[in-house]
Structure 1
Amino acid sequence: MAKKISDFVPELGVELSSYKGSELIDRIGEEVVKNVVSSVLCGENVRSLTESLTRRRLMLSNAAMLVTFLKASNQIESLVGKSAKMIAEELATKRLSKEKKLYLTWLAGLTEKSIQNVLRGNEQEELKQYLEELGKLLKESAQKADSSFGNLSGTLKLGKEENSISWESIMFLFTAIGAQTLAIRGSEKSMYGKLFEKFILGSVLSILGFQRIDPKESTKSDKVFWMSQRENKRESDATLLLKAGIGVRFDIGFIGPGNSEISLDKVSRFEREMEYGRQTHYMTTVIIVDRIGQNSRIKELASAINGEIVQMSMSYWVKEVAQILKDKINFTHAITKMTNEESLNFVREQMKKVNLQDFL
């Protein structure tokens, strides 16, 4: 039976190519995730904290791509020249797993998003035409590199197998690794953003003594909150009720100083009232962002619609949230009377009691 490129994708590559955010805790451990959340609650940057997780996945994924390329090259004669036809045929196979199809699209220099933008869908004829053009570009680029830099030759050895390399083959590999890196970075940014927004917001409200409920199953209204409320045009990442008739909507996003208009959009989309159970609750709004530019007027604009913006880059922002709740809805908590350092120690200790699985 003829060998297919997808036959050579290693198991580790399959595992790392795609996974859901709900699997994150199982994959890297709850203690690691809790440490990241705890650090963000004390003012550290979530992006820098998750970067090491992304880099680890990328390094191992790139290694798996290299192994795929070397093993396929060893078993399939003139792999680069045949790749266009083989990738098109394999992607058309319905029995192929999603993960292996991802690998094939990366080998073609594509991500799932670029399939939509470049090919305007994954129709067979468009893909075939793209792959034929890619083959021509590889040949032309290899010739240009050869004339500009000199002949590239040698072998790469994996285990006992040796593989000859050339400009064309190495450019084919670089194209695949580039697409793979772009796709994984994009998915990680989205996944970590959505996931840690839930973890961070849920943890803050739990630490402040509010109980998470499911609003579809509970009508409890004293010191409760729920996640991701969608109702007509009103939208929030979390909704908190101190008691019947009084509550706060929260929205969170890792928005930097260069995206102030997004913060404004978040502020302006909330209404002042919300229906829950049989009662109308009068709401204020708290927007939590990474940081705000030095000369930004967003805080004043938010205040004009009875909203507040909190920056996670400030070390004592959890204490600030508690103070806002005290000022806005007369919520009382011991953290508001603690020193700044005491508040950080309190947050770290309380994080040990938080169950992050509740927020998935």
Structure 2
Amino acid sequence: MTKFIDLIPEDSLELVNYKGKDLIQKLGKNIISNVVLSILCGDNIRNLTEGLTQRRILLMNSSLIITYLKALSSFGNLSSELTSIISNEIRTERLSPNKKKYLLWFLGLTGKSVQNVIREDDYFNDYLSSLDGNLKKIARDIKNKYGDMDITIKNNGIEFLLQWPDLLRCMMALGAQTLTIRGSEKSMYGKLFEKFVLGSVLSMLGFRYINKDDPQTNGVFWLSEREDKRESDATVLLRPGSGIRFDIGFIGVGNTEISLDKVSRFERVMEKGGTRNATITIILVDKIGDGSRTPQMAQAIGGHIIQMSGSYWVHQLAQTIHEEYDFFDSPLVGMDKEDSINFLHERMQEIDLSQFL
């Protein structure tokens, strides 16, 4: 007996969900390093990764259409029976998370909508019982508005006739799929490149990357601290007693106040290895909107905010640290802005990004 899940192209299942390490393997370290370098020189991460996101979305969209066409050949009245077919397989088959997510798309559901709309099994049954009725009503309304729609598709020598019920089902699935992929990519790229950018720029400034539990306290840094009131994306110890907390966010204009609200809860004293260290806060954001209260808010919490949209933001970061701690020394301190760009290009070749994963 044919199962719907067996019609899904196997290679597309690999694209349903993957992690940062998978991304490096798929794209290669050189491409990732070039993206990081571009961010260090002021480029926007969304612009740099949008092409990668579009590729994944279109590959997945194409596989979804192919899966539907295969199902048309394998099942009878698919447009009216698909909800029953998929819900039955979700309940009775032992599915991998990727397969289950793929099937849910044909029900118009993403992981978020399952949490927010369905919530419990009873709600899921109610959703399924109303889904087909909703689609039929919408198909009638669209037919009255736009007329009949008959599309003939030929794939591998086989012709398929798609009408409004088929098209609506596919469009609903494509929408759920696209929302899922965009959401996961935004989260994945954000978390991944936050570590890569912080790890790279702090290494270039002359700090050594260590594990948080390492007892070293001179010229070192570690990533992602999550404890009690303190929550920082990176922590630097210049020497015993002197530290910096970093918060980074690839967030749009108007959202930087959110980041500031979070870092305003940072404690200004950190203990490590029995030593109390006074810390300042440096916030890295993509861009600050006109009229934003962010610079004043940053000053109020004794911190600094730097926009990564500037071509020379790494140079500015070095000067800011030197102003706070005059003993801090780096080749970037006092360096010409234009020369700092060449410095970044040279040093990026020496950075092993995989260590920051």
TM-score range, shorter chain: over 0.9
Q: Contact 1:234 / 1:270 at 8 angstroms: preserved in 2?
A: yes
Secondary structure of the structure 1 residue equivalent to 2:278: strand
Percent of residue pairs identical: 49
The one of 264, 285, 306 equivalent to 2:281 is 285
Q: Structure 1 residues 162 and 350, CA, compared in 2 at 3 Å: closer, same or farther?
A: same
Deviations 1:13-36 (A, max 9, x none): 101111112321011111111111
User: What is the alpha-carbon distance in structure 2 between the residues aligned to residue 89 and residue 187 of structure 1?
Assistant: 27
User: What is the alpha-carbon distance in structure 1 between the residues aligned to residue 307 and residue 92 of structure 2?
Assistant: 49
Code of the residue aligned with 2:238 in structure 1: it is L
What is the TM-score with the length of structure 2 in the denominator? 0.97
1:312 maps to 2:308: yes
Post-superposition shift, 1:347? 0.7
Deviations 1:72-94 (A, max 9, x none): 11111111211111111111135
Secondary structure of the structure 2 residue equivalent to 1:354: coil
Runs of 4+ in 1 over 6 A off after TM superposition: none
- RMSD in angstroms over aligned alpha carbons? 1.3
User: What is the alpha-carbon distance in structure 1 between the residues aligned to residue 145 and residue 34 of structure 2?
Assistant: 50
Code of the residue aligned with 1:168 in structure 2: it is P
**Counterparts of residues 116-155 of structure 1 (less than 5 Å):** 116-121=115-120, 123=121, 125-155=122-152
Residue in 2 that maps onto 1:105: 104
The one of 212, 218, 224 equivalent to 1:222 is 218
User: What is the alpha-carbon distance in structure 2 between the residues aligned to residue 52 and residue 6 of structure 1?
Assistant: 29
Residue in 2 that maps onto 1:255: 251
Q: Contact 2:283 / 2:303 at 8 angstroms: preserved in 1?
A: yes
1:80 maps to 2:79: yes
1:161 maps to 2:139: no
More moved, 102-111 vs 250-259 = 250-259
Post-superposition shift, 1:161? 2.0
User: What is the alpha-carbon distance in structure 2 between the residues aligned to residue 304 and residue 149 of structure 1?
Assistant: 58
Post-superposition shift, 1:129? 2.5
User: What is the alpha-carbon distance in structure 2 between the residues aligned to residue 170 and residue 311 of structure 1?
Assistant: 45
User: What is the alpha-carbon distance in structure 1 between the residues aligned to residue 189 and residue 92 of structure 2?
Assistant: 32
**Counterparts of residues 34-113 of structure 1 (less than 5 Å):** 34-93=33-92, 95-113=94-112
Post-superposition shift, 1:183? 0.7
Residue in 2 that maps onto 1:339: 336
- Give the number of equivalent residue pairs: 356
Residue in 2 that maps onto 1:114: 113
Secondary structure of the structure 1 residue equivalent to 2:148: coil
Code of the residue aligned with 1:266 in structure 2: it is K
Residue in 1 that maps onto 2:234: 238
- Tell me, which stretches of 5 or more residues in structure 1 are unaligned? none
User: What is the alpha-carbon distance in structure 2 between the residues aligned to residue 154 and residue 67 of structure 1?
Assistant: 15
Deviations 1:279-313 (A, max 9, x none): 11111110100111222232232123221001000
Q: Contact 1:74 / 1:161 at 8 angstroms: preserved in 2?
A: no
User: What is the alpha-carbon distance in structure 2 between the residues aligned to residue 145 and residue 86 of structure 1?
Assistant: 25
Q: Structure 1 residues 148 and 298, CA, compared in 2 at 3 Å: closer, same or farther?
A: closer
Code of the residue aligned with 1:64 in structure 2: it is S
Secondary structure of the structure 1 residue equivalent to 2:6: helix
User: What is the alpha-carbon distance in structure 1 between the residues aligned to residue 276 and residue 207 of structure 2?
Assistant: 20
What is the TM-score with the length of structure 1 in the denominator? 0.96
